[in-house]
Amino acid sequence: MAQPDGKKIFFENLSGAGKAIAVLTSGGDAQGMNAAVRAVVRMGLYVGAKVYFIHEGYQGMVDGGENIREATWEGVSSMLQVGGTVIGSARCKEFRTHEGRLKAAHNLVQHGITNLCVIGGDGSLTGANLFREEWSGLLTELVEQGVIEADAVQKYSALHIVGMVGSIDNDFCGTDMTIGTDSALHRIIEVVDAIMTTAQSHQRTFVLEVMGRHCGYLALVSALACGADWVLIPEMPPEDGWEEKMCQKLSATRSRGSRLNIIIVAEGAIDRHGKPITSSIVKDLVVKCLGFDTRVTILGHVQRGGTPSAFDRILASRMGVEAVLALLETTANTPACVVSLCGNQSVRLPLMECVQMTQEVQKAMDEKRFEEAVKVRGRSFENNLKTYKLLAHRKPESELPTSNFNVAVLNVGAPAAGMNAAVRSAIRVGISEGHKMLAVNDGFEGFYKGQIKEIKWGDVGGWTGQGGSLLGTKRTLPAKHAEKIAEQMRKHNINALLVIGGFEAFLSLLELLTARGKYEEFCVPMVMVPATVSNNVPGSDLSIGADTALNAITTTCDRIKQSASGTKRRVFIIETMGGYCGYLATVGGLAAGADAAYIYEEPFDIKDLQANVEHLTEKMKTSIQRGLVLRNENSNENYTTDFIYQLYSEEGKGVFDCRKNVLGHMQQGGAPSPFDRNFGTKISAKAMQWISKKLVETFRQGNGRVFANSEDSCCLLGMRRRALVFQPVVQLKDETDFVHRIPKEQWWLKLRPLMKILAKYKTSYDVSDSGQLEHVERNRPKESDASVAM
């Protein structure tokens, strides 16, 4: 398949020969660190460098000896799915002293290491930068002591450092998401979902304490993801008198028929005067003021443990490869950089700029400049806080604006996890903006049958964590029933439409746009939010539901691979969903450590299949015991899953045996992941705000009606690289392959070479997006907060 344009790196001309790269994990552990270590090792070896593990973080660097060991390809083969860090992490007081750093420099020089890849928090990265600045002085000192030869100063003149942030707190400025955060959110949401069922049974209030001594990200995002009644975070302490307001809110929720309350407290939560607000203080307050049966659950180190999520594995793998590229391209004058995520892109930022901004947040909090602390924390954090306030705290009827507009919300296409979170968000934002919100059951089929009713604030309580589509969804397109739908629009006086769905939703909007010429009822603002596990909607890099499906694939692949542990060598052929779109097979393959992924977008023939079998046979003759091959369901009509299974079985005889699995609809089911809950919540809130703006713009005072017939009044809201963008659907037609229901260009195809490199294939790697060093901006590119990073 043709590679995208851009500067490309080939195995032959990107050389790390003669270079030695060391990787270490430092500070607190985080899920996904092993995926980053694996990516650094394999990419380093791929480009011909020597790669070393430094065990036990900086302590291992100071102690030297057996702590610094050369890494092998096979040595990282089963660590992708393991939580924590298998090379160990330790806090090291000795490295903070000059003598400690002198020992560390000596140990690195002994192995010829001048490239360091540090995975840790801001403390670990600051220490690495200091070490780099002192490097030449340390070498001179070692020569004076007679410990190293004089020519070593010239030979190892500069120490190059690239950082990756591993921290479950997401407390590092400059990156939208740190390695481990998404997995920690998974742990929290699993607990919250479990607690909600028991709280419901006994009509209890639960106070959950989550990690975050100096950063409230986990508390805030988990509150958004589960629709918590109240959240307490260190960056934005509640106003004085919060105790009474909180109790009023809890009481009002109960009076509307809810049987439970959830309060989430960050461990570092404080009031406006800097006094700690603990989970036990909150519990005592609720019991004393309201008499509710209240329990406290402190999650503790559960949040750090367990298997990394699909998101963290992909993030860490991308960052690990980018870190090696950054080390290869660095010069003596390049400042230490950190590999970050902005929107959907890897970027490189000067390490100390990020550290300084992170320290600024703490300084602002210490000086009680809380609004500034939230701003410096980044757009993503600020946007999360605004969205939470908008959805959790209902204004009294008297304070609501009255717009006299009716807005209908419907789901179209196949169900996708996170749809319900998107509906809840739209309904509540719409009500806050003064609109009358109408829910349409069963998509356009329900629409033309008149299954339309008003939906209130309380009706969508508890929807965020529910899988599938509670409104009901069908694949029916509107064109055949345009007359009846127009009649219903007239009958219910519908002034705007919000459609949440997949490719059918996109087709529906195109059909309604065409029907405007015949039916004036369709001349209203219409917007679509992409929601499909296949992630095949043009105009958006991501769709609601795709992350949940990826996690289902990754978890299943982990279990399938584990089923062969201790048995003879085995290869698994796994079929994924996605129609003609290879997103799930490719990105699921990257997250699960697949050896190959067959997709429609990258045509393959019998020679490719043969090459893959031979490649696996070679690998199986070494210590690798298990192979994993993914196939998208429509990748090729002749090379079916059965055909590939039979081919591998025949050609692998005597070396490995084969098993096949078709994952089917389990990829579509289950509770939505934290990412899908938050992405759905935020993108839908933004769509609703766009509708409100368009309604005001297109309202005609003369006849008191809304009339919108321009192209930009019928849009798709999608995530493009670093931003959320409204795009007229008519303009997306040229970008779409309607026969195969996929966009003509897809960003994730650039991840395929990465998957191949990590599976030991020689391939070209397109780095047209790879980082030139950027600078940290206090206000990142507009809307980057709506990024992949939630």
**Catalytically active residues, by annotation:** 169
Instruction: Please check whether residue 86 is in contact with residue 308, taking contact to mean a CB–CB distance below 8 angstroms.
Output: no
Residues 6+ apart with CB under 8 A from 257: 458
The one-character DSSP state at 34 is: H
CA distance 144 to 752: 50
Residues 6+ apart with CB under 8 A from 281: none
Mode of pairing for the β-strands spanning 742-743 and 736-737:
antiparallel
Helix (H, G, I), strand (E, B) or coil at 278: coil
CB neighbours of residue 334 within 10 Å: 17
DSSP per-residue codes, 117-130: EEEE-HHHHHHHHH
CA distance 787 to 182: 13
- The two structure tokens encoding residue 503: 């490719």
Helix (H, G, I), strand (E, B) or coil at 714: strand
Provide the b/e sequence for 497-522 (b: ≥16 CB within 10 Å). Answer: bbbbbbbbbbbbbbbbbebbeebebb
Residues 6+ apart with CB under 8 A from 171: 121, 122, 178, 212, 214, 215, 217, 358, 361
CA distance 752 to 318: 11
Q: Exposed, middle or buried by CB within 10 Å (0-12, 13-18, 19+), for 436?
A: buried
Count the residues in the chain: 790
DSSP per-residue codes, 547-572: HHHHHHHHHHHHHHHHTTTTSS-EEE
Instruction: Please check whether residue 169 is in contact with residue 211, taking contact to mean a CB–CB distance below 8 angstroms.
Output: yes
CA distance 42 to 618: 17
DSSP per-residue codes, 424-456: HHHHHHHHHTTPEEEEETTHHHHHHHT-EEE--
CA distance 67 to 75: 15
Write the single-letter amino acid at 456.
K
CA distance 415 to 597: 25
Place of tokens 């192995």: 111
CA distance 163 to 169: 17
- Closest to 56 measured CA to CA, from 48, 64, 45: 64
- The two structure tokens encoding residue 41: 């090792």
Query: What are the backbone dihedrals phi and psi of residue 353, each rounded to the nearest 5 degrees, phi first?
Result: -65, -40
Chain centroid, CA 342 distance in Å: 11
Instruction: Please check whether residue 472 is in contact with residue 432, taking contact to mean a CB–CB distance below 8 angstroms.
Output: no
Q: Which helix (H) or strand (E) holds 322?
A: helix 310-329
DSSP per-residue codes, 600-660: TTS---HHHHHHHHHHHHHHHTTT--EEEEEEETTS-SSS-HHHHHHHHHHHTTTT-EEEE
